[in-house]
Structure 1
Amino acid sequence: MSAHTSGWNRREFTAGAALLALALGIPAAGVKLTALDERELPSDRQRNLIAEVSDLVIPRTDTPGAKDVGVGDFVVLALAHGLSGTRTPMAAGMVTAALEPFCRRDGSLRHLPWLEHTLDRAAGGDFLRHDPAERVRLLTALDTQAFAQGAPPSPWTAIKGLILTGYYTSEAGGSQELRYELVPGKWEWDIPLKPGDRAFSSDWTAVDFG
């Protein structure tokens, strides 16, 4: 591994670490790339690629995009920590010829190298050299194939799921992109209820499971 790549050992991904800490329910200080095996460190290009891909999934509009809040780094760290089962060995029957080059010895998949290879091959070269419209077209084709009814499992579904998790556990995703109501909010000692009123999802004591 080159000295340039091994420099990742000294980097801390502030935004990505904070998002991963929220998802895992641990202090952000406990999420550092320094704890990772050097063989699991992504290249600078792979880090850039997942940042750009994340932003294609959730671009900036009137609210920040995925790249703005560090979702790419969240995905890097989440994959390294095995979030959403991404370090679980694949069943033997699930390992196709296309996936085999990206499998670890334990049978789990190296998702970022797979994504890099898949998008570059679809682009006929360097995916990142294409303009945004072409990138969207290529990623849309991958997404459509991965989520088609009856399609075999695709690593893209796990990657996209982590992109969404990272964004919607961020402050921008959770309170600007989505509607946020503070719980418990203000104290109301007497709330009139009518027959048929629904229970509040945030008040489990009022939910009738009967």
Structure 2
Amino acid sequence: MDHRTRDAGGAGRRQFLMAMAAVGAALTPAALWAQVKTGTDAPAAKALAPSQRALLDRVADLTIPDSDTPGALAVGVPAFVTLALAHGLEGAGAPVPAARFTGGAGPADATVLDWLMFELDLKAGGAFLAAAPAVQLQALTALDGAAYAPGGQASPWRLLKGLIVTGYYTSEAGASQELQYELVPGHWDPDVPVGPHGRAWSNDWTAVDFG
């Protein structure tokens, strides 16, 4: 291989790495929210079955309901999660192995939403979406408890819940109403009293790891 071939290969690798870096930079929560606001998330939403969209809406609402601030459904988190799934963020696009389904009864090429529907239907004793709100909450609570119990690290619910929480706290309402926000933070104080209704600061929220 002469020097011209080596240089061309090096340039190709550099271009590839630059392109990958650009993709990684684009897949941030802010970029996904921008797509939601401009409506460019529509193709991803259409790729979901109506039952999957309804499931995502209901689960987001149960995970972070309305309180004195808007909840996950009210701020549009399902649209954020839909885009995150379409982009395969945090491995969300990979099929869920049959072993992750209770009883190992998962279909081939099952998505994380297929898994969620299966597990919640099972825990609700029937169609989750048709169940009473109290039954839905009980089913999701059981799923959440199993996912965060010892040995539950591989549960797909951890991935979905992480996307819901990330979407919520990077939304405008989540970052400025649910969390406190100070445009120009003041001095550092190592010891600040926190009451039972104190809110965290969105300036300090660093749990975002996309790309």
TM-score range, shorter chain: 0.5 to 0.7
Query: 1:159: how far off?
Result: 0.3
- Give CA deviations for 1:158-190 in whole Å, capped at 9, x if unaligned: 0000000111111110000001111x479xxxx
RMSD across aligned C-alpha pairs, in angstroms?
A: 3.3
- Alignment match, 2:72: 66
Q: In structure 2, what is the Cα distance between the partners aligned to 1:158 and 1:133? A: 24
Task: State the partner residue of 1:6.
Answer: none
- Secondary structure, in 3 states, of the residue corresponding to 1:69? coil
Change (3 A) 1:49 1:110: same
CA distance in 1, matches of 2:174, 2:31: 17
Size of the alignment, in residue pairs?
162
> Which of 98, 101, 105 is the equivalent residue of 2:106?
101
Task: Determine the structure 2 residue equivalent to 1:142.
Answer: 143
Pairing of 1:40-189 with structure 2 (within 5 A):
41-88=47-94, 96=99, 98=101, 101-104=106-109, 110-182=111-183, 184=184
Identity of aligned residues (%): 44
Structure 1 letter corresponding to 2:118? H
Whether the 8 Å contact between 1:60 and 1:66 is mirrored in structure 2 is yes
The whole-number CA distance in structure 1 between the counterparts of 2:69 and 2:122 is 32
Match of 1:32 among 41, 59, 72: 41
The change in CA–CA distance for 1:37 and 1:61 in structure 2 (over 3 A counts) is: closer
CA deviation after TM superposition for structure 1 residue 43, in Å? 0.8
Letter in 1 for 2:106: P
Partners of 2:140 and 2:45 in 1: CA distance: 30
- The alpha-carbon deviation at position 150 of structure 1 amounts to 2.5
Q: CA shift at 1:42, angstroms?
A: 1.3
Closer/same/farther in 2, CA of residues 59 and 67 from structure 1, 3 Å limit: same
8 Å Cα contact 1:102/1:110 also seen in 2: no
Gaps of 5+ in 1: 1-19, 203-210
Q: Secondary structure at the match of 1:176?
A: helix
Unaligned runs of 5+ in 2: 1-25, 192-202, 204-211
- Using the size of structure 1 for normalisation, the TM-score is 0.65
TM-score for both structures, normalised by structure 2: 0.65
Question: Quick one: higher RCO (CA 8 Å, sep 6+), 1 or 2?
Answer: 2
Q: Is the 8 A contact 2:98 2:106 kept in 1?
A: no
Letter aligned with residue 70 of structure 1: G
Change in Cα spacing, 1:143 to 1:115, as seen in structure 2 (3 Å) is same
Q: How far apart are 1:152 and its partner, in Å?
A: 4.8
- Please state how far the C-alpha of 1:151 moved relative to its aligned partner: 2.6
